[in-house]
Each structure stands twice: as structure tokens, then as C-alpha cells.
Chains A and B, each alone.
Chain A
Amino acid sequence: MDRKDFFKDPVVHMKLKARMTINQLIQEFSKSGSFGAGRVATACDIYERMIRDRECTIFLALAGAVIPAGLRSIVADLIRRKFVDVVVTTGANVIHDLLEAFEGHHYKGHWNANDVMLYKYHAFRIYDIFVPEEDFMKEDSKLAEMLDDIIEESENRVFSSNELMMEIGKRLNDSNSILRAAYNAEVPVFVPAIRDSEFAYIHWLHAKRKPSKTSLILDTFKEVPNIVDIATISSRLGMIVLGGGVPRNTVQHSAAIARKGIDYAVLITMDRPETGGLSGSTLEEAISWGKIKPRADKVTVIGDIVIVFPLIVASLFERLGDDFSR
């Protein structure tokens, strides 16, 4: 490599204009091309290439409190437009989707709130979001009724998490719900760690009141061939990671098991690689495991998902227009 090869692409300082659109702003990020701004612009380009590649199956891995924090409609829109083909998420994100589907709400609060007072008032806190306990209780009873209905309709069936999500989605009538949008678009929603959420306790309470034959049976291994099959039959694999955790690992691992490796990857996280945990690990590290292809089109954005992801999606909506379908 010659010295001049290092100086091919100068940083062009961003120019702002009044009434500029989000994609125009992203273009300015791209001209800067450095630090967080450069990475956000690259993430937009990679996601656009993923969407335009109709042979690519796009996995969305969701962890962290992204649904309580306002990304619910955005994710539902992405599913509706098939900008996401498979969702892998935590039980908690689904629970918070359902809480709103059953007319519960998340409320603006404060990170510095008096937690002892919140405890007395039966209000739960997720950083600066408050959730009233009664909204959870309403969800618990509605979901328990739904489980009754699902069991009645499918005698002795053993469910995988994605099958259960489809059954629930079918029974919702909130168009902004992620599960409803996924049902309509036939986008599978995998919840590999479903047991670590309100789902488990609702099921436990529900099952206690029933004879054992008529309680819901969920087999957490049943979904494994489903997700690996999707990876195996796809020509190319794309991955958008919001946060990290179990969802990120499930997507990456499925790609490795399918002996494919991921072709396009966008990772948005605040986690660090030094502790060796999966959430903060670099995409390069995943190459050594065969989870990501050595020449994959990939970028990591170190940033708060609630700030970065709406910017990226707004830019894509603008680039692709309303009529683009997949």
C-alpha cells in the first residue's frame, strides 16, 4: 500500500440547512465519513443494500427496552414493508408490545425518581419510563384468556416460541403491534429466551389453575430447526442488531450452524468488547466463529438505539420511497 492510498477520501465538513430532510443529513454524515456520523451513514448504506438484495433474508435482533422506548411502530412498519424478514427478540420486548396492544401504556418518567415511592404506588421504572402495575395485570389476564383459546383450538399441540407468537398475533387487532404486523406479513418472531419474561409467570399462574393436560406446552428446542432452515435456504443473510444479548447470538449462531455466515451486518450497541460478553463483542470476532463472512458488508455504530435507529430508518424510507416493496 502506497502512502497516497491513505489519502484518497478527505473528510468533508458537514453543512446544515434549514428544513433539510433526514436523508440529506445522512448524506452530510457520509461526507464527513468519520466517527459516529460516518458509521451511521455506512449503516444506512448497508441496510439499503440488504433491502435491495431480494435474495437476502433480513434478521432483526431486538434486545433491551426498545419497545417501551418508542420504537414499536417503527419495527411494525419495517415488518409490514418486509424490510425485516425474521424477528428474534426477548420475551420482555414482546410483553411490552402486548401491553400496548391491550391498551396499556408506557409513561414518561424520570431516571432520578424516588424508587421507594414508585414501589408504594405500584409503578415500575425502566430508566425514565414508568409502567403502572395494573396495566401488567390487565395484560396477564388477557394473555391468560388468549392462552385458553389457543389451547382449545389446538389440542395437545407442542408449540415453538415462533408458533405461539403467530397464534397471539392472529388474535390481536392493534395494527401498530409488532406481533400483529408479523402475523399479517408472515414474518416469524422467535423468542428464544421466552422463559425469562412475564410470559413464564403468566403461564405458570395459568397452568396452576388447570389440569395438566390442558395447559400450554412450549418446547424451546422446537424452533431451532425452524430458524436454521431459514438460514440454510436463504441465498444471503442480513442482520440488524439493536442491543445484543440472546437475540444477537441466536441469529449469528443460526447462520454458523447453517454453514452460511452472515453477508450483511449492522450492529447498534453501547456495550463494550473488553469484558468478552457477546453483546459488546466486535463483528470481526464473529468472523472467527464462522458467524459472519470474512468479506461481509458490516458496520458497528456505538450509540443509543433510540437515537440512532430512527435516523437510519427515516433515511431509508426516504431513499426507497413509499412504493418500494420487497
Chain B
Amino acid sequence: MNFLKKVKQIKLRRGMTASQLIKEMDACGVLGAGKMGKAAKLIAKMFADPDYTVFLTLAGALVPGGLRGIIAELIEHGYVNVLITTGANMVHDLVEALGFSHEIGVFEVQDEQLKNKEIGRIGDIYIQHKAFQELEKWLHHLLKELTEQECQRISPSSLLQKIGTQISQKDSILAAAARKEVPVICPGLPDSIIGFQLWTWSSSDKKLVLDSLGDISKLVDEVYQARKSGIIILGGGWPKHFTLFANTFREGVDTAVQITMDRPEPGGLSGATLKEAISWRKVKSNENTATVICDATIAFPLIVAAVLEEAQALREF
């Protein structure tokens, strides 16, 4: 067995592009840099091959953290075929669509003071409570428009698609997904402001049945139709688990990239290695996987910028 493949020291140049830096990291080939290089190559492969159905899973405060536009563009340009997300990320997409913004703050702040001023904090981001109140009103109007039949049984993805069609703002993830008919799978929707709003509304005005199982059918259909299956996991949580589990119906994903800060030692799913997923038939082989241990707001934009640079010859971005 030949163990010896030289590590190339990274060389930086003035004005180098994202792809050039990623290539240096790939040539270096080890530790975090090597993982970044491999992750970029795997994502480029998924994006370039039309046989791939690309599942993007989102957990954690990625939309407040500045990734909204990137995700919307990936959907808009057909690079992402199915989005699996927490409800909260879509709530934050919606409050921006309604004209509110997330504000840059600091971790070290008096949270009591924020409470008194009706401001919520997510790490070093602030958002006013009013944004959510306005969202509730807006949702209330939208829900009123639902037909009797829709109210009897609507899956979270159908509801989110309906919401997406009502948004005119260009940078919205839900609007892009609705335009491109990219399913937004969200069986955990009740665990979000949208969920609690649906609950209060359904107990007062009309009866509404949210059919979480409906999203399973939709996701499994996508899995069955995929000639090749690829997954990009940002964060972890149930979007990661749900999507990997659905992929057991085709003996696992062909290619997988995950970016997380979670650790495998406590045995939780978010930090679990992709190698472990092989034993569950969620992932086919270790060769086509990469786990980048990094804050997704740092690693993902760098990888996407590099991949788009290379992808330009394939499909105009």
C-alpha cells in the first residue's frame, strides 16, 4: 500500500478567485482545506450532472445569517431540486419578504434590555418582534383564501408553495421555489412561528388539517425518480435525518456533502459521520462524501462561489 501522496503548501496570490483558492486547498489535500476541496469537487459534480437530483437540507439560523440570497439563486438556476428545511428558516425568509430585516448585533448584550425593547436575538443578529406580528397578520390573510378542500388536508410543502406564489420579492427562497416548482419539504413546520399561527388560526376560524405525512410521499417520490441522488447538508437536525432516511428507499445517496460544527461523540444525528450513515444504507459509499467541520456561513459561500466559477461553462449562472 502506497501511503505517500505529498501535501502541497497553499500559495496565495493577489486578486485570486474563489475557485483558485479552493484549488489550492484541494491540492493541499488535508485537514479542513482538503475537506473543502473535496466538498467543492463533489458539489460541482452534482451540479454539472443533469442525472442528479440535488437535495439541500437546512437547519440552524442560515437564512438570518446571510445565506438567503445564495439559496434562492441555487434554486432559481436549477442547481437545487428539493429543499428540506426547518420551519424557522422559512419564517425568516418570509419576514424579509415582508420588508423587515435582520440586523447586525453582538453576542455580548443585555438580553433583559432586548426583551424590554421587543427585540429577539439569534447569536449576533437582532430582529424586532414586530416582524413576526406582521407575519402573523399576513399569514392570516393568506389562510383565509384557502379553499374548503385545501383546509381539509394540506401538506406543509403545498402550503409553502402557496405562500411562495404570493411573494413578489426576488430574493425570497419560497418565491424562487414556487416559480421553479422546487418542493420545499417541511414536516416540522409546526415547530415554527408559522406552525403556532396555523394552530391558533385553525382553532378559531376554519378547521385546518396540516398533513405532515404528505411531505413524506413527496420526498420519497423525488427519491424514487432520482437517477442519481446527491445531498448537501447544512447544519443537521431533522432535515438531515429525514432526507437521508428517505434515500434508504434507493439504497442511499450517491454523493453527500455536509457542513457542520456538531460532533459525532454524543451519538446525535446532527454530528453523525457520513460513514456511519453507510451502515444504515443512507449513503452508498464513503468515497463520494465530504464532511467539512466549519461554520456554514463561512464554508458554504466559499464553496458555492468556487463551484459557480467552474460551472459557468456548463450552465450560465
Residues of A within 8 A of B (CB): 1, 3, 6-23, 25, 28-29, 31-38, 40, 65, 68-74, 77, 100, 105-109, 112-113, 117-118, 121, 123, 127-130, 132, 176, 270, 284, 302-308, 310-311, 313-314, 317-318, 321-322
Contacts and interface: CB of A to CB of B under 8 A. Distances in A.
B32 A35 contact: no
Interface residues of B, number: 75
A33 B104 contact: yes
B46 to A, nearest CB: 17
B146 to A, nearest CB: 30
Given A40-B298, A314-B12, A32 B65 contact: yes
A21 B14 CA distance: 9
Contacts of A311: 21, 298, 302
B308 to A, nearest CB: 5
Contacts of A25: 18, 301-302, 305
Contacts of A37: 65-66, 295, 297-298, 301
B67 interface: yes
A69 B9 CA distance: 7
A313 B12 contact: yes
The listed residue with most A CB atoms (<10 A of its CB), out of B36, B119, B298, is: B298
Contacts of A36: 294-298
Interface of B: 1, 3-19, 21, 24-25, 28-34, 36, 61, 64-70, 73, 96, 101-105, 108, 113-114, 117-119, 123-126, 128, 171, 261, 275, 292-299, 301-302, 304-305, 308-309, 311-312, 317
The listed residue with most B CB atoms (<10 A of its CB), out of A13, A22, A109, is: A13
A108 B293 CA distance: 18
Contact of A70 (B10, B16, B65, B119): B10
Contacts of A16: 70, 73, 301, 304-305, 308
A304 B17 contact: no
7 contacts: A6-B117, A18-B312, A19-B19, A20-B305, A34-B65, A72-B9, A318-B16
Nearest to B317: A18
B30 A310 contact: no
A70 B30 contact: yes
Chain B binding surface, main DSSP class: mixed
A38 B124 contact: yes
Nearest to B103: A7
Contact of B104 (A34, A306, A313): A34
A108 B7 contact: yes
A303 B294 contact: yes
A299 B133 CA distance: 34
A29 B9 contact: no
B126 A6 contact: yes
The listed residue with most A CB atoms (<10 A of its CB), out of B9, B108, B114, B292, is: B9
A38 B69 CA distance: 16
A219 B296 CA distance: 45
A302 B107 CA distance: 14
Contacts of B66: 11-14, 28-29, 31-35, 37-38
B305 A73 contact: no
A71 B30 CA distance: 11
Contact of B295 (A128, A302, A321): A302
A129 B30 contact: yes
B103 A9 contact: yes
A70 B8 contact: yes
B80 to A, nearest CB: 14
Given A18-B311, A37-B66, A314 B16 contact: yes
